[in-house]
Copies of this chain bind each other. A is one copy, B any other.
């Protein structure tokens, strides 16, 4: 007999959300600009790298450890959260996970039955939609940060609530917030957050608050969500984004201890625990990484603002991304007879042929006329050279 048919939910999952054109870009002979994935060009702080972790100093460095995370790390993270938020936080409210993605997947697994819905403010980080589908939940797009066809524009706290209320059903279990925001570079105002938290409380929803870019909101504008609704909020944090450790796969959640215990069960069954050396590196970054973060934040702010100037858009308020409306360039390309695909695909091909990869708008929701660009993936000078190429191709 043959093999079983693939389950239908696979059709809704991303295989390669950020770019399918790496091979095409590789044919370009000059300097390349991989602006498609969100990452940093910087290595972690000296003392916080894997080369700094010695078997002679750290018993069990390559072995299993506590599945919820190294006890010293959980305690340090609880203390850090308590200090940042001004409220008590116990280690039982903290779960160390194998990166923000793994943390959110475990959170989806612990809060959703098949068919349960999650409200996701669009545009959104592509994996939030597909990880909900992976756990057999249903992601519900809420056009929010950027207008989409047929959706009213969100401009304040009242229209924020109206946008999510319109799509909230009896099957809704959670709302996903993300500020500082991937992909737009926005930071949500405090009154919008307060209104959305009140909505979630009123409807009995969990709040998944993705704050992995919390260190990168210029001017201290970041609003931590968990203190506003501790009974229902799980905040998601990441050594990847905060400390330049994306490859180490370590992050943490902070939430109600009963829910955290359940999320821990899913985490055990998806990856067992965060990598042990990564947790040690993260612990060092927590204690010795502040200067690195301050340096990165200043540099990211400068680079983001310089990129925005070149592209003729407002400077990002946080995160490491710009989300560009390229309708004008698409209109100019319409009917172009250059052998490239029609529409956005052809523009992405033209960029790849000039050595630039960017992520397509449709990976982030109903945005067929947008692209996302990460301005921290390579060093600032190279980033600006690449963004000049982008600006020229977009006619800016």
Contact = CB atoms under 8 A, between A and B. Distances in A.
Interface string A91-135: 000000011011001000111111010000000000100110111
Contact of A14 (B136, B269, B277): B269
A365 interface: no
B264 A276 contact: no
Contacts of A60: 247
Dominant SS at the A interface?
loop
Contacts of A116: 7
Contact of A275 (B7, B53, B127, B275): B275
A100 B50 CA distance: 22
Nearest to A57: B51
B2 A204 contact: yes
Given A50-B62, A62-B246, A111 B4 contact: yes
A266 B13 contact: yes
Nearest to A9: B113
For this chain, the copies found in one complex come to 2
Nearest to A137: B7
A40 interface: yes
A37 interface: yes
A28 interface: no
Given A61-B247, A249-B275, A269-B127, A262 B6 contact: yes
Nearest to A53: B50
Contacts of A303: none
Contact of A62 (B2, B44, B174): B44
Contact of A270 (B63, B112, B131, B203): B131
Given A203-B1, A270-B102, A270-B131, A37 B64 contact: yes
Interface of A: 1-4, 6-10, 13-16, 37, 39-40, 43-44, 49-55, 60-65, 67, 98-99, 101-102, 105, 109-114, 116, 127, 130-131, 133-136, 173-174, 201-206, 231-232, 244-249, 256, 259, 261-262, 264-266, 268-278
